[in-house]
Structure 1
């Protein structure tokens, strides 16, 4: 697989070194995460971030282990890095880094101080909230290595400050238990117990969020490194605190073996696919109840059904995980209610608030059966899928239902944003898409075909799916082509929601990428016209995928930056979404247009932001800097899927 390596020109340049982030997942929704330079730039960064009842409920525990080299003369070199509320950065250990590598998905740092070379490796024990950090003397010595353990215990989305009680520490063999939540163990433990005030996270400041927190210096580990090859290793783990993990060196070796096995099992064709297969592995987790689930993005998202189902084929079928995928689909089917799939429980309650998530579920089931030939699953889920069709024909939540006038799916509820373009600012949808969105009806047509096909495979009655499919296809072909030369984005949109005023409805012809679904799905309502697709690509395509709005539109926002309102206001108003590269490539191939060159930009991007992965979004304006989650499930999944097909 691709090994990402950077020298002092990147590691020692603070702005460059902090723009590249690494992620080591634990297979449960927790992780270790940070930057190439070692400076924490997000509230979410830490060496032990522990999942809770859902993948979105995470707590930050061990924040950092700051190394300091002490020579027999008493001279010291501090190798850690922190930014403070004053704007100063101290210590500046990144200036002593000669190399950073991400190999087999595991990070490795190498510091050089004259003839002394110290290396650090980090890994997590898969399936357990446990991080192992191993330091090794490569050259020079003898020296003493001390490791200052900076800790907290807080929600990953928040901060903890010194105006409250300090974290509670209890002695334990080789270290301490912090807040009864996680344990530290290593050589030469000495408790300290003091606050570090005003640690700053520059990325949170840039995102318009609280950027400072206070950290608890719980204590330090220390040991002598007399000759090259000597190590100092620390473990931190949550869960069963009495059950000590394997030695740290073994945890690292086991993680490396597992990652290589994951990649080999998928049979990738080249180094790029190897990197994407391993990136995909980060998102497939075992939830608290033991069933498979998908983390939508690191570091702040949990499980969202729309993201899961869009990602399904890339994460499961393109990586040899069909059995896990089968369990996931069965588990999600159990959440169906009134013909709708639960969207998320990340907010603390189960929510049914998408118009398209359920239709993506139909698509995922269809792809699973088509790829695996799993007729048993088709027969098992067919009653649930027919119930989806019945629920949509009869009408369900949020005004979601089939319009009897044309057989197309419509929806709308005040203040709600139910398509994937779901951003709201102060409770008001930014992209108001009530009515009949083009991709929703492409998914409806495709979903009806899936139900009819699975019924035929099972020798069962498809119910109303076949008739509904024919009517929806006829209406789609008649109504969606717009005078502009592309497809309408929304039909029968409520006029008061748009700047035209007046009563009734109107058809929105903004040039957006949603129409790609009308040409790219397995059973699409339209065959792509090469000339139209070229026109769409000319306006929307960037090196990292299609924009969400054409740049010549007055509402176009070229930078996805700033505070929450600024970012949400531009989220779907021109921001680039790499996941849309999947539908775009599918449409090009179906139209007979060249597609192989479309991956060049995103392949180069693997080493630019979230190392080895694909970001959630990018700026719509050049140079299309990456934004959003550095590690995003549907971005990775769709690039992997179409690259392997």
Structure 2
């Protein structure tokens, strides 16, 4: 780090937001609702460690097609289907002889022309500590409902505990969607009404009733276990409205099907359970299943010895890890992102290496290496199955970067490093040298080039009407830096493997790339690197794009040897003054002609704005690493970086998680995918791995 320390120069929005502080008393989400529907609009997320999840608003009023109480991963962590959408709860008191008993309907839904605030709302509070828990208050007492997904199984346990002076009765009505998470269900005549019923002794020795239904014959049956009476009354509930989908310009109506309802008597202080599973019911007593789910999440909390923000990120990171599946992978984000190679490789240090889960990291890398074709790593493994997709130029380069971190943890001579990583990197290296699909190739002077007109092969891959919004065809700045650093990593491994010839070739490739980078990427007019340049510096078709984007920041964080000390300092000054915000790093500098301040509108409008200014939290980690080496702020940069990372980590869309992106201008509202693997992982990495702690100790 440079020793000079001029005055801290930040925009007023950054100063104001950082002055507020982001800390709170607990890493576990809590919302005081008090019967006010407006306080219950935040989203929550709960996962099972194998791709399945449950999610909705705190009110339980779905706003997305992706919301549900059991979104099962039928090909873990892929094949996700919304099976159980809701379980509506009715509550009445057991008053013997009473002609009319008080009854409360606890569910909330949005229907056409109906104001949900016009009907009573009984939710007093919501807690996720660590399992989601709702506390409803009615005139006769309090009902507490807890939800827990069975670890690595497509099953959910719902626990109901009534606290009142007299017994009560619950009416539980499951509402089923039974469709892929990207779809919507419409009333149709193809649903099977057949119901199988049985009575059995449960794992805890109690007598349980079971109901089995398979309304969609192409999907597994759904099994229900409960203590009570099932009343069969198959029917459709119509025209649920999902307002977040409407805001996104998408179809937002759905019909849901129910096989009937369960009448369940409840005694004060005695818990009752409803277990719902795909295929077959899980083994184990309901309470034990909940305790196991709770223990798995609690184990992710590093405890009060670290900051509250780090604790939250550590807990959130577990939701994306699915390395215990038959096909290990990383869910790129909830609720709609799939298993993507680029996201898995970028997020791998934060998700796995920071918490010391090295075996899981090896399983994820092994699975991606197993999917390589022609030296390329797949960028998308479709949720609905089918062939892997190789529609990116940078995913394979991120494999080199992930491998570099694995080597630092495992050492050069580890069997996984030499036996699996080294051959994969060698195959990727040779593929680039000879050229491969999407015109991935090297230029005459050794820079990394990719793409044809109209393609979007980097992380800036948004499209409108099939055309790339930010195509970046040619030599993108961050890809040449990734290539240079990757070749250096391969040279190191080649020496460890005893292949001096390959080591020499890789060293030459790194040297040529860095020399060409220094010669061609720096723009004197902007004191900032060009974002993309043409393969040839001169002649027909040559170009240099001087637009200020954060990709040069990625390049500096990955391979500082591509820059002089003065260039690195100037680059960071420009980033700090124009791109850095309290929520992350802008994707385009204000003042550029295509700058978009808000990520709003229909799908086409959002995609058009996606990389034209929107703030990306995960990029802040690259700013941290680059600034620690080269910032002109000297020692004054440390408190700034700590506060920026904590601020970005606290800008939540879903409780306890960091979203995919944010608006470019204050208040930087979070948008997009509500829980993003790279956002969580990179902020956790910066906080726990890169930044020295405030007490002077080294990061973990």
> TM-score higher than 0.5 here?
yes
2:426 to 386, 390, 393: 386
1:85 to 112, 128, 132: 112
2:387 to 349, 357, 360: 349
Give the corresponding residue for 1:487.
529
2:173 to 148, 153, 157: 148
Q: Is the 8 A contact 2:30 2:128 kept in 1?
A: yes
Cα displacement (A) at 1:384:
2.4
1:280 to 302, 306, 317: 317
1:520 to 549, 553, 557: 557
For 1:116-161, what per-residue CA distance to the aligned partner results, in whole angstroms no more than 9, with x for missing partners?
Answer: 1111111111111110010111344322122111112111111111
2:460 is equivalent to residue 421 of structure 1: yes
1:558 to 597, 616, 620: 597
Give the corresponding residue for 2:49.
27
2:297 is equivalent to residue 259 of structure 1: yes
Give the corresponding residue for 1:598.
644
Q: Is the 8 A contact 1:26 1:124 kept in 2?
A: yes
1:100 to 118, 121, 126: 126
1:237 to 253, 259, 277: 277
Give the corresponding residue for 2:259.
218
2:522 is paired with a residue of what secondary structure?
coil
CA–CA distance in structure 1, aligned partners of residues 76 and 441 of structure 2: 31
What is the count of residue pairs matched by the alignment?
626
2:211 is equivalent to residue 184 of structure 1: no
Q: Is the 8 A contact 2:155 2:275 kept in 1?
A: yes
Give the corresponding residue for 2:683.
639
**CA, structure 1 residues 35+140, in 2 after alignment: closer, same or farther (shift >3 Å)?**
farther
CA–CA distance in structure 2, aligned partners of residues 493 and 518 of structure 1: 18
Give the corresponding residue for 2:103.
76
Give the corresponding residue for 1:172.
197
Cα displacement (A) at 1:543:
1.4
CA–CA distance in structure 2, aligned partners of residues 611 and 77 of structure 1: 27
CA–CA distance in structure 1, aligned partners of residues 185 and 238 of structure 2: 10
2:671 to 604, 627, 644: 627
CA–CA distance in structure 2, aligned partners of residues 422 and 493 of structure 1: 20
1:574 to 613, 616, 632: 613
2:527 is equivalent to residue 505 of structure 1: no
Unaligned stretches of 5+ residues in structure 1: 496-501
Larger deviation, residues 464-473 vs 71-80: 71-80
Give the corresponding residue for 1:499.
none
CA–CA distance in structure 2, aligned partners of residues 323 and 125 of structure 1: 23
CA–CA distance in structure 1, aligned partners of residues 117 and 227 of structure 2: 26
1:1-80 alignment, distance < 5 Å: 2-8=27-33, 12-14=36-38, 16-18=39-41, 20-53=42-75, 55-71=77-93, 72=95, 73-80=100-107
Give the corresponding residue for 1:111.
136
User: What is the TM-score normalised by the length of structure 2?
Assistant: 0.86
**CA, structure 1 residues 83+169, in 2 after alignment: closer, same or farther (shift >3 Å)?**
farther
CA–CA distance in structure 1, aligned partners of residues 178 and 61 of structure 2: 19
Give the corresponding residue for 1:609.
653
CA–CA distance in structure 2, aligned partners of residues 336 and 136 of structure 1: 51
CA–CA distance in structure 1, aligned partners of residues 598 and 143 of structure 2: 40
1:52 is paired with a residue of what secondary structure?
strand
CA–CA distance in structure 2, aligned partners of residues 303 and 324 of structure 1: 15
Cα displacement (A) at 1:43:
0.7
CA–CA distance in structure 2, aligned partners of residues 339 and 33 of structure 1: 38
Cα displacement (A) at 1:325:
0.8
2:401 to 346, 350, 363: 363
Q: Is the 8 A contact 1:314 1:637 kept in 2?
A: yes
**CA, structure 1 residues 139+271, in 2 after alignment: closer, same or farther (shift >3 Å)?**
farther
Larger deviation, residues 218-227 vs 356-365: 218-227
CA–CA distance in structure 1, aligned partners of residues 32 and 312 of structure 2: 21
2:331 to 291, 295, 298: 295
Give the corresponding residue for 2:446.
407
Cα displacement (A) at 1:488:
0.7
Give the corresponding residue for 1:193.
234
Q: Is the 8 A contact 1:615 1:628 kept in 2?
A: yes
Cα displacement (A) at 1:115:
5.0
Larger deviation, residues 479-488 vs 457-466: 457-466
2:572 to 526, 529, 533: 533
Cα displacement (A) at 1:467:
0.4
User: What is the TM-score normalised by the length of structure 1?
Assistant: 0.93
CA–CA distance in structure 2, aligned partners of residues 212 and 494 of structure 1: 52
CA–CA distance in structure 2, aligned partners of residues 600 and 286 of structure 1: 28
1:312-331 alignment, distance < 5 Å: 312-331=348-367
Give the corresponding residue for 2:14.
none
1:123 is paired with a residue of what secondary structure?
strand
Q: Is the 8 A contact 1:167 1:216 kept in 2?
A: no
CA–CA distance in structure 1, aligned partners of residues 118 and 178 of structure 2: 23
Unaligned stretches of 5+ residues in structure 2: 1-25, 199-208, 215-219, 690-700
Give the corresponding residue for 1:204.
245
1:83 is paired with a residue of what secondary structure?
coil
1:421-460 alignment, distance < 5 Å: 421-460=460-499
1:362 is paired with a residue of what secondary structure?
helix
CA–CA distance in structure 1, aligned partners of residues 532 and 27 of structure 2: 42
CA–CA distance in structure 1, aligned partners of residues 670 and 283 of structure 2: 37
CA–CA distance in structure 1, aligned partners of residues 141 and 561 of structure 2: 62
CA–CA distance in structure 2, aligned partners of residues 13 and 563 of structure 1: 26
For 1:225-284, what per-residue CA distance to the aligned partner results, in whole angstroms no more than 9, with x for missing partners?
Answer: 332x12221111113x1x5432322221111111122335x9972332222112111111
Q: Is the 8 A contact 2:323 2:361 kept in 1?
A: no
CA–CA distance in structure 2, aligned partners of residues 547 and 135 of structure 1: 45
Give the corresponding residue for 1:158.
183
CA–CA distance in structure 1, aligned partners of residues 467 and 648 of structure 2: 33
1:543 to 555, 577, 582: 582
Superposed CA RMSD: 2.2
Cα displacement (A) at 1:414:
3.4
Larger deviation, residues 447-456 vs 464-473: 447-456
Q: Is the 8 A contact 2:235 2:258 kept in 1?
A: yes
For 1:93-113, what per-residue CA distance to the aligned partner results, in whole angstroms no more than 9, with x for missing partners?
Answer: 6x2111111112x11111111
Cα displacement (A) at 1:577:
0.9
1:306 to 326, 331, 342: 342
